[in-house]
Structure 1
Amino acid sequence: MPRNRNRFSGRTALVTGGGSGIGRTLALAFAAEGARVVVAGRTRASLDETVGLVERDGGTAFARVADVSRAADLDALVRAAVDRFGSLDVAVNNAGVLRAGRPLADVDEEDWQSMIDTNLTGVFLALRAEVRQMRTQPGGGAIVNVSSNIGVHRQIRGLTGYATSKAAVTALTRGAALEHLGDGVRINAVSPGPSETAMSLRPGESLDERALRMKEQSPLGRVSSTEEVAQAVLYLASDDAASVVGTDLVIDGGTAL
């Protein structure tokens, strides 16, 4: 079936971590379906590049530098989106960090705190700011949190801290979905596995080496494309998923089976 290219026409979509990887693909995908896009992240240059790509394809977007671990940044981000476009209809909390490679007993407190601050507290602060705005709007809104197949669905040696932060995102999503559906805000999560991003590369690993490794490790035999992850997010954020609430959709080629 042909894709509906106008599912988000007239709506504003916010994407954190929008300067690269899945976040950049999300920005392009929302814009292609009619959304006015706000991209946020820590690095101005990469955000501006995303905006340029959206505008090159005829879309509308603007960028705002924000650190998701800071409540004031998230509150200001939501205000800026509403000031610019008049509403906040969709939000994707995608920003995340990975500190990996050591058993839990050897993990530095700094690395642990960095993952908790961004992957968990950052989602909480973003959710809070987004819901507070969306529940004032007649049409409410939809939020998708980006978790990971590492956590609730899978464990990997050396990634216990990351898995903990992402498992908590799944729990946070389900609880927030229950509490705020009555406010007109529908909240879900996606849990990608290895995808076409730098985060899925091992230290020093090339793209060809990753491809060979995934042929052995993934039932699908490859990493997921960022477009495949984006289309799952767009489904959950769209009216096509109007009765989908509190789900955690795994997109990992079967690696967590």
Structure 2
Amino acid sequence: MNSLHGKVALVTGGSRGIGAATALRLARDGADVALSYQQDKGQAERVAGGIEELGRRAWTVRADMAEATDVTAMVDGAVAELGRLDILVNNAGLGVLGPVEELPLADVDRVFAVNVRGAYLAAQAAARHLADGGRLIHIGSCVTQRVPFPGASLYAASKSALTGLSKALARELAARGTTSNVVHPGPIDTDMNPADGPDAAAQRGFTALGRHGQPDEIAATVAHLAGDGGRYVTGASIAVDGGHAA
């Protein structure tokens, strides 16, 4: 298991699902963890409590990733509260599905503001603080590599942008030993996409393994990239999708 003792991580959208599992896994590996949430303060505090039960420090902050001032304050606050920043996990995201000819401009702007601009601004703010050997890890989506159903144009476009951002950051920050990678989850069993939901059977059918993944399975890959074992991986797009792209 990777050792992250002495490291500080910030997980955006860390109050539930993949974000919560990632925050807890990084803490289990030894990191102190800051996590952002947008709506459910109670759930964020429960995750923070789990981090503290593991003997690590935790800090929660409300942040709307579409608001530039929130994003900057989130990163700066994490550094002020926990003393440094070594790992940023750009997990917060927004999914809006629908026919391309029908989606209103407000939805387009909001999805790109959260999924692309928010991730960019978080990475920009983090780059000012990251210690040498830092880690940027962005949570993409399996639909960037294969879109097996209609109505996902907006979401796929926004998540695909993370690949270009991550590759550019990998080049730009390499001299400092900082890595940047994208993890593309497949269908994951969360409250936003439950394994017993109305579209779950179809989603399972798109994967080679024929099942939903678990948030911990994404968190394990993030933890590997965040730790010493990930020091020579950068600019990569890693599918943890049960064979969705196979």
Give the structure-2-normalised TM-score: 0.93
Q: Are 2:229 and 1:232 aligned?
A: no
- Alignment match, 1:113: 109
Q: Are 2:12 and 1:23 aligned?
A: no
Alignment partner of 2:208 out of 210, 219, 240: 219
One-letter code of the match for 1:27? A
The 5 Å alignment of 1:69-148 reads 69-100=66-97, 102-134=98-130, 137=131, 139-148=132-141
- Alignment match, 2:230: 241
Q: Are 2:34 and 1:38 aligned?
A: yes
One-letter code of the match for 1:15? V
The 5 Å alignment of 1:159-198 reads 159-198=152-191
CA offsets 1:179-232 (integer angstroms, 9 cap, x no match)? 11113321111010100113334xxxx717666445533210101110010000
Q: Which moved more, 1:73-82 or 1:20-29?
A: 73-82
User: 1:215–1:68: structure 2 CA closer, same or farther, 3 Å change rule?
Assistant: closer
Q: Is the 8 A contact 1:93 1:145 kept in 2?
A: yes
One-letter code of the match for 2:70? D
One-letter code of the match for 1:247? A
One-letter code of the match for 1:154? R
One-letter code of the match for 1:81? A
Q: Is the 8 A contact 1:142 1:237 kept in 2?
A: yes
Displacement of 1:105: 0.7
DSSP 3-state at the match of 2:166: helix
DSSP 3-state at the match of 2:209: coil
Displacement of 1:55: 2.2
- Alignment match, 1:61: 58
One-letter code of the match for 2:137? V
- What root-mean-square deviation, in Å, do the aligned CA atoms of Structure 1 and Structure 2 show? 1.7
In 2, Cα distance between the equivalents of 1:29 and 1:181? 26
DSSP 3-state at the match of 2:34: strand
In 1, Cα distance between the equivalents of 2:118 and 2:152? 19
User: 1:210–1:160: structure 2 CA closer, same or farther, 3 Å change rule?
Assistant: closer
Q: Is the 8 A contact 1:147 1:189 kept in 2?
A: yes
Q: Is the 8 A contact 1:192 1:252 kept in 2?
A: yes
User: 1:57–1:157: structure 2 CA closer, same or farther, 3 Å change rule?
Assistant: same
In 1, Cα distance between the equivalents of 2:176 and 2:209? 39
Displacement of 1:168: 0.7
In 2, Cα distance between the equivalents of 1:117 and 1:211? 28
Displacement of 1:107: 1.0
State the identity %. Answer: 34
User: 1:87–1:229: structure 2 CA closer, same or farther, 3 Å change rule?
Assistant: same
Q: Is the 8 A contact 1:131 1:185 kept in 2?
A: no
Aligned length: 244
In 2, Cα distance between the equivalents of 1:96 and 1:190? 13
Displacement of 1:46: 2.1
DSSP 3-state at the match of 1:244: coil
Q: Is the 8 A contact 2:76 2:125 kept in 1?
A: no
Runs of 5+ in structure 2 lacking a partner? none
Give the structure-1-normalised TM-score: 0.89
